[in-house]
Structure 1
Amino acid sequence: MNRAIVVFNAGSTSLKFAAYAVEAGGALSMLCVGRIDSMQGDPHFVVKNAAGKPWDAHEWGEGHAIDHRTALPFIIAWLEANLAGTKVVAAGHRVVLGGTRFEAPVRIEGDVLDYLDSLAAMEPSHQPFNVHGARAFAEAFPGLPQVACFDTSFHRTMPEVAQTYAVPQDVRDAGVRHWGYHGISYDYISRQVPKFAPAARRVIVAHLGGGASMCAMLDGKSVETTMGFAGVSGLPMATRSGDVPPGALFYLLRRKLFDDATLEKMLYERSGLLGLSGISGDMRVLQESADPRAVAAIESFVYAMTKYAGAYATVLGGLDAFVFTAGIGENSVPLRAALCGKLAWLGVKLDAQANTSGGPRISTPDSGVSVWVIPTNEELMIAQHTLALI
């Protein structure tokens, strides 16, 4: 019987998964990846094989809402029916926030889920759904071990001064601090950088996708990151605002243009590249558009990255390597070129041909800072942590 680990990322109306075979010696190899979308309206399941080719699909029918208690057993049953001789032995879950209690991945047992649920008010767009998925799995498969991996854990190596906001102690005690996110991705990239640039100690990584952030690393450890208390601050993103002055938000509330719920929805769903352009939050759409608003939105994104890169180079005391990762970072040739041009003062010299071909190295041999395109793999990182804890 072959053993498999399944990784889940539970959202409000979606459930993403990836399955990995546990090979001899503890190596992991991908079996398939898939998702169930539109769970509350028109749920449909799709899965691809390890090569990325479509494998199977299923639809429940429009108006046939399902929840995680239905979706999770369906996925496990499909896996064990379609992967001959394979038995799921554990599940790993992406959970955005581990709080002060969990600074590393943890087995889900005892009061772990109750504690994680208590943090939902800090990051309501992801945390409650991540926890709900883990609860549903525990109810359906009480005998299978589960592991929670946190986006915040990687950033707990930031110096205390970088984690602390200048607010009173009672406010800090309530959980207001610089948490940082995308940590699972940064954890993975930190382990890949030595394979490409073994001498690089001072590294900036740009995780650029629908959600976007940057992280300054020293010797593979996080020392600063752009996302702060919640996943809405830092860089402008597809539909999330990035940094907005608190005074502007107080103003909108005083004017009664928003209440707390509609203000949060505006900042998370109507802002960022979408808000700036009025066209789309998709970088691909904006780069194909000649509309001046699309051009301005991209320029704003590059400006924010330039500003943070300069600050982080100062925090690090210099810069040895810069890494692009995630959907935009791995695929947008013009965006990488634009940022590298802004960082020429740091010694960055772009190899245009290498950039067009996607790297992995996209800087010239004599560049003062080596620049790389390294694909991230959050699912594999979660699977590895899960295997280590079961």
Structure 2
Amino acid sequence: MRAASVLAVNAGSSTLKFGLYDGEGVAMWQGQFSGLEPGGTPAAPFEAGPPVGAEPLPWALAALRLRLQAERHSPLAVVHRVVHGGARADAVLPVSAALLAELETRTPLAPLHQPHNLEGVRAFALAFPALPQLVCFDTAFHATLPALEQWLPLPQRLHAQGIRRYGFHGLSYQHALQCLRRCGAAVEGRALLAHLGGGASVCATEAGASVACSMGFSALDGLMMGTRCGSLDPGVLLHLMRQGWDLERLEALLHRESGLRGVSGLSGDWRTLRASRDAQAAFALALFTHRLRRELGAQLALLGGLDLLAFTGGIGEHDALLREQAAQALACTGLRLDPHANAAAQGERVQPIHAEGSPVQAWVVPADEGRVAALAAWDWLRQGEDARHA
């Protein structure tokens, strides 16, 4: 008989990532369906029949359900990553119609993620009707942000409507801190954590709690990203509106046509740009690095010193040159990387990359938001069991 497990899922616009985790948060099985976007070529991480006569997402769920049955896996719950939970600080919540309706109102603030996250919740509820459906929020980790970090310099009535800074990538930052704590790293001090991938942000923590994040009201803010612009003078939007740009055109510009893709004119994929000899591709990488160094410096000033720097996410785990250039911006803290350790780190495991004697630690941590969500789901299940036996 297979060990008890929970199924953690992350539904995106073209992918469905999943993982089975035991009660200790150990991944028993992980995989990803791809090509689920309209017109895409669906692909499964295992042998599965073609999606004849079926939409890609229901096909993927049907294939997953059959594979779980064949492997005799019987998860106790399904837990979903949801990007924007608003001001909620809950680690995990059971899905309800009221909760889904509330989360729908957050869709304009994370249009690349939220609608697909919620579509995944509904699809799994249909495919696995006997299992509890739970949600975890990327924003919940940042509930500890101080008021000065939350507030935007707008009229108070707008703050009362929820227009404030929330922060994102919280599940990734939680996972990084959990891994680093197990390794005895200096996470209880002043830390800068960089989640660098198609979406990118920097988070400052003290004693393991978020005190600043480069992302704010929406997942557009902060660092330059794969296709998102990051921080932008709002005067640019006013200027374009005066030229006749409507809401849909502006949304497309900010979310899908900017960042690395827009600046390079080639691609939003970091690996493609690294491999290119095109001068504009090189400039896009340089601009990304410049804005990362700038944000690290800003959050360093808020912390007033530094004990640890950590990189996670696809770019953060695999690009040694970017890590070196980012660390150079923090040389004033005494941070020194070990060039051999930095070159060797590729995200396969939690790995220190600081030089011997460096007063500031530096680490590379493989991202695994699913593990954080799974552990939260296990806590929820155990609390329910305790209540039933009370």
Task: Verify same fold: TM over 0.5.
Answer: yes
Which one of the candidate residues 161, 164, 168 is aligned to 1:177?
A: 164
Which one of the candidate residues 31, 42, 61 is aligned to 1:72?
A: 61
Matched, 1:11 2:12: yes
Which one of the candidate residues 8, 27, 30 is aligned to 1:29?
A: 27
Please give the alpha-carbon distance, in whole angstroms, between the structure 2 residues aligned to 1:326 and 1:101: 24
Between 1:163-172 and 1:219-228, the stretch displaced more is 163-172
1:146-183 Cα deviation digits (max 9, x unpaired): 21010101011110110111112232233211111111
Please give the alpha-carbon distance, in whole angstroms, between the structure 1 residues aligned to 2:305 and 2:192: 10
SS in 2 for 1:318: coil
Q: Which residue of 1 is the match for residue 388 of structure 2?
A: none
Matched, 1:274 2:261: yes
Matches within 5 A, 1:223-234: 223-234=211-222
Structure 2: gaps spanning 5 or more residues: 382-390
Please give the alpha-carbon distance, in whole angstroms, between the structure 2 residues aligned to 1:372 and 1:206: 10
The number of residue pairs the alignment matches comes to 375
CA contact (8 A) 1:76 1:88 kept: no
Q: Which residue of 2 is the match for residue 95 of structure 1?
A: 82
Which one of the candidate residues 201, 219, 229 is aligned to 1:241?
A: 229
Pair 136,289 (structure 1): closer, same or farther in 2 beyond 3 Å: closer
Please give the alpha-carbon distance, in whole angstroms, between the structure 1 residues aligned to 2:119 and 2:344: 41
| AA aligned opposite 1:37 | G
Q: Which residue of 2 is the match for residue 106 of structure 1?
A: 93
Pair 132,180 (structure 1): closer, same or farther in 2 beyond 3 Å: same
1:116-162 Cα deviation digits (max 9, x unpaired): 22322332222122122212222343321121010101011110110
CA contact (8 A) 1:98 1:152 kept: yes
Please give the alpha-carbon distance, in whole angstroms, between the structure 1 residues aligned to 2:172 and 2:88: 21
Matched, 1:159 2:146: yes
Which one of the candidate residues 182, 200, 210 is aligned to 1:222?
A: 210
Once the two structures are TM-superposed, the CA of residue 282 in structure 1 deviates from its matched residue by: 1.7
Please give the alpha-carbon distance, in whole angstroms, between the structure 1 residues aligned to 2:287 and 2:224: 8
Q: Which residue of 2 is the match for residue 348 of structure 1?
A: 335
Please give the alpha-carbon distance, in whole angstroms, between the structure 2 residues aligned to 1:97 and 1:325: 20
RMSD between aligned residues: 2.0
Give the TM-score of the pair, scaled to structure 2. 0.90
1:197-220 Cα deviation digits (max 9, x unpaired): 544410001111111111001011
Matches within 5 A, 1:1-390: 1-2=1-2, 3-20=4-21, 22=22, 26-47=24-45, 55-60=46-51, 64=53, 66=55, 68-81=57-70, 83=71, 85-109=72-96, 111-200=98-187, 201-256=189-244, 258-358=245-345, 360-390=351-381
Pair 196,186 (structure 1): closer, same or farther in 2 beyond 3 Å: same
CA contact (8 A) 2:25 2:374 kept: no
Once the two structures are TM-superposed, the CA of residue 27 in structure 1 deviates from its matched residue by: 4.9
Give the TM-score of the pair, scaled to structure 1. 0.90
Please give the alpha-carbon distance, in whole angstroms, between the structure 2 residues aligned to 1:27 and 1:151: 18
| AA aligned opposite 1:46 | A
Pair 226,90 (structure 1): closer, same or farther in 2 beyond 3 Å: same
Identity across aligned pairs (percent)?
38
Structure 1: gaps spanning 5 or more residues: 48-54
CA contact (8 A) 2:25 2:371 kept: no
| AA aligned opposite 1:117 | E
Pair 331,73 (structure 1): closer, same or farther in 2 beyond 3 Å: same
Pair 37,111 (structure 1): closer, same or farther in 2 beyond 3 Å: same
Please give the alpha-carbon distance, in whole angstroms, between the structure 1 residues aligned to 2:34 and 2:331: 44
Please give the alpha-carbon distance, in whole angstroms, between the structure 2 residues aligned to 1:290 and 1:14: 30
CA contact (8 A) 1:43 1:65 kept: no
Please give the alpha-carbon distance, in whole angstroms, between the structure 1 residues aligned to 2:258 and 2:37: 25
SS in 1 for 2:136: strand
Please give the alpha-carbon distance, in whole angstroms, between the structure 2 residues aligned to 1:271 and 1:39: 20
Pair 289,140 (structure 1): closer, same or farther in 2 beyond 3 Å: closer
| AA aligned opposite 2:43 | F
